[in-house]
Amino acid sequence: MANWYRKFILLFKSEKRLGANQIIDHYAGQNIEAMKSRVIDSDSCSIIDTIIQAHPHLLDDTQVDEPINPLVDYEPRRIRNLYTHLTTLQHEFIGQSELSFYHAILIVLLRRRFQPEKTFQTFTHLWQTQTDYLMDNLSLRWIASACDTFIDFDPKPTRKAMLLNIITLINTVKVYETQQYLCRSSASLDEEKCAILYAHHKPLYAGLTYFRLGKDDTLKHMRERYQRFYAEDPFSTTLLLKAFARLHDQPSAFTTLKQLHKDEKSAWW
């Protein structure tokens, strides 16, 4: 019954944002301190589950897979249904607070272009009022996602530029850690390790993963964000892009990963 009703609703609304209003409304009524103290676990899941119980048509349960262990089997998933996406994502936050998961939900809603101005105001207010908590409790993966979100939605050029440096730093560490992983035992590439990173994402630390060989799109998105600064400062942007290109002309980790890359859609050079 729920699936039939959901299909009817989808005649008029996008599945990418279906039920987003209910999420915003439910979390707006929550106490911040209570969300900090509430820990997500396999028996006590997030507010998302409460919403689904009240509105089962919002979830496309035909897409639900077995729960993942993000420390062992982390793989990003492209899921069109908003609630299926969030119920999958919440497994990454088992052992963490509802507030940390709420932060991730806001990023998901912004990526799905749900009321971007209003949602970004909520996101900004959360960071302005809970800066220390978020910096102390979010993994580097979600700190990087927060920086990307500010870069994409904040109107302040200086803030964009400063936060892009964080993304550059994290991506550079990720690239060099990947090269070290591949070449740790000798100067030549370890073919077995290459096969592992071609096959799936491998956890690194603090929520980060090694560079996914052949498919990783983080450097592509980083370069695209560099290019957006051209309208504001052509000179500095040109220097930045040229410096980034020069790194690929040297025997660097960037060059190694470029040679191993196979997906044209996520090429970054």
Q: Can you list the residues of the chain whose pLDDT is less than 70?
A: 1-15, 43-45, 52-77, 185-186
Among 91, 85, 95, 77, CA closest to 52: 85
Q: What is the pLDDT of residue 170?
A: 92
Q: What are the tens digits of pLDDT across the range 145-203?
A: 999 999 999 999 989 998 998 899 899 989 988 988 898 766 788 899 999 999 999 99
Coil/strand/helix, residue 209: strand
CB of 96 closer than 8 Å to CB of 35: no
Predicted TM-score (pTM) of this structure:
0.75
